[in-house]
Amino acid sequence: MTVQLPRKELFDIPAGVIYLDGNSLGPLPATVSAHVTDVIEHQWGAQLIRAWNESDWMGQPARVGDRIARLIGAPAGSVVMGDTLSIKVYQALAASLELRPDRRIILSDTGNFPTDLYMAEGLLRTLDGDHELRVVDPENVEHCIDESVAVVMLTQVDYRSGRLHDMQRLTALTQEAGAISLWDLAHSAGALPVELTATQCEFAVGCTYKYLNGGPGSPAFIYVRPDLIQRIQPALSGWMGHDAPFAFEPDYRPAPSVQRMRVGTPPVIQMSALEAALDAWEGVDMQAIRAASIALSERFILEVDQRCPALTLASPRDPQSRGSQVSFTCQHGYAIMQALIAQGVIGDFRAPNIIRFGITPLYLDETDIISAVDILQEVLDNERWKQPQFQVKREVT
């Protein structure tokens, strides 16, 4: 049974807000607060330590991972939750390099989110000093994949422009060159159909507080292609990845499954928010999400083109080359976004001059899109962004 979109009734979005920042932090699903209260009061509070068994806290990272797996075209048992995306990138990269011990290059692109590149830097410093992180322009990635490359690490959707990599094609090129393919799905999971099994990439990682609406700091996920699991010796070999965590053996012995990618004690309360949030995805067809996302995005671009000449589209014009966000460059982008937010249209700004709008068909419809452009036009036409309060920069922009 496929559900109808949007599902606004499943979200607590404040009155007067058109939320176009679900690509950064998804809004609050309506069932989350009660579920977290239940976990706190009736599991932690009443069951105390017994909740690890009685409420199956131990099984939560795999149980939630299976629900994410469905959304990214992966089989049950291939995804596990925990830590942050940065940590998961580190784990996947370290494993990739171990799978290609004779190669020395991590290939990535300038469209990758900075923390992926930073984590690679840290790993390479920790390693022997022989490896190299090579960062090229997104359009040059395919020309730089050769037999010196150990791993190609890419974020499928560029966080600034929304530019979408052809995952199938780049993975095939990577594997033809004998390299490992590692995909960051931060802006893909819940945004568009991903078919990990079909793509055959070795690793994928992602976060769950964007399109999946898990809440601020919701844990990350990692996918390992099932045939590889037993060949990977985790660099971050924590007790929760041990085959028998409560045997307290002196030496690390990895679990036979993807559970070996677990590290420390899972954030049970935080993950409970995600677990409830995922209910909003039950019965949702990712192809329907994609179709709605494209329809809404196309309308948004069309309206802006016609009514807001100060903005220049920074996303690919072809919807097939775009993720589920629309970005524009414009002068005074920071102040314009602040003025928009003050009027209830919440998008965000990315330095130096990009304003971004996330398109999330779970809780947005065409009326929202038209209203958002009405307000955007009004802010621009009446130069509301020139008001002094919109010029003050804050830490998180």
Of 247, 309, 320, 388, which one interacts with a copy of itself (CB under 8 A)?
247
Is residue 362 close enough to count as binding a copy of itself by CB under 8 A?
Answer: no
Query: Could you say which residues in the range 10-29 bind a copy of itself, by CB under 8 A?
Result: 12, 14, 17, 19, 21, 24-25, 27-28
Of 67, 322, 350, 384, which one interacts with a copy of itself (CB under 8 A)?
350
Active-site position among 184, 322, 348, 390: 184
Is residue 353 close enough to count as binding a copy of itself by CB under 8 A?
Answer: no
145 vs 207, beta carbon nearer a copy of itself: 207
Copy the structure tokens of residue 243. 């085959």
Is residue 68 close enough to count as binding a copy of itself by CB under 8 A?
Answer: no
Of 18, 62, 64, 87, which one interacts with a copy of itself (CB under 8 A)?
87
363 is catalytic: no
For the CB of residue 53, give the shortest distance to a copy of itself in the complex, in Å: 5
Sheet order of strands, 348-350 included: 312-313, 325-329, 354-358, 348-350
For the CB of residue 68, give the shortest distance to a copy of itself in the complex, in Å: 17
Q: Alpha-carbon distance 119 to 149, whole Å?
A: 18
Query: Could you say which residues in the range 323-342 bind a copy of itself, by CB under 8 A?
Result: 341
356 is catalytic: yes
Query: Could you say which residues in the range 37-66 bind a copy of itself, by CB under 8 A?
Result: 37, 40-41, 44-46, 48-53, 57-58
For the CB of residue 176, give the shortest distance to a copy of itself in the complex, in Å: 28
Placement of tokens 């982008």 in the chain: 333
Asked if residue 27 has a cis previous peptide bond (ω within 30° of 0), the answer is: no
The strand pairing partners of 151, in sequence order, are 106, 180
Vertex 275: Cα angle to 272 and 281 (nearest 5)? 155
393 is catalytic: no
Query: Could you say which residues in the range 97-126 bind a copy of itself, by CB under 8 A?
Result: 110, 113-115, 117-119, 121-123, 125-126
Query: Could you say which residues in the range 287-326 bind a copy of itself, by CB under 8 A?
Result: none
Is residue 137 close enough to count as binding a copy of itself by CB under 8 A?
Answer: no
The site that binds a copy of itself (CB under 8 A) totals a number of residues, namely: 91
Q: Alpha-carbon distance 135 to 217, whole Å?
A: 28
Query: Could you say which residues in the range 213-232 bind a copy of itself, by CB under 8 A?
Result: 215-220
Contact criterion met (CB below 8 Å) for 222 and 261: yes
Is residue 84 close enough to count as binding a copy of itself by CB under 8 A?
Answer: yes
Q: Which helix (DSSP H) or strand (DSSP E) does residue 220 occupy?
A: strand 220-224
Q: Which helix (DSSP H) or strand (DSSP E) does residue 99 occupy?
A: helix 85-99
Of 63, 197, 200, 239, which one interacts with a copy of itself (CB under 8 A)?
239
Copy the structure tokens of residue 227. 């045939």
Placement of tokens 């920790």 in the chain: 126
Copy the structure tokens of residue 86. 């940065």
Query: What type of residue sits at position 161?
Result: S
Q: Report residue 385 CA to chain centroid gap.
A: 30
Active-site position among 160, 350, 356, 384: 356
Task: Compute the radius of gyration of the chain from its Cα atoms.
Answer: 22
Of 138, 178, 193, 238, which one interacts with a copy of itself (CB under 8 A)?
238
Of 16, 102, 227, 246, which one interacts with a copy of itself (CB under 8 A)?
246
Q: Alpha-carbon distance 46 to 266, whole Å?
A: 19
Is residue 370 close enough to count as binding a copy of itself by CB under 8 A?
Answer: no
Of 149, 189, 201, 346, which one interacts with a copy of itself (CB under 8 A)?
346
241-to-30, 81, 217, 260, 286 alpha-carbon distances in Å: 33, 12, 21, 4, 31
Q: Alpha-carbon distance 397 to 389, whole Å?
A: 14
113 is catalytic: yes
Among all residues, which ones are annotated catalytic?
113, 184, 209-210, 356
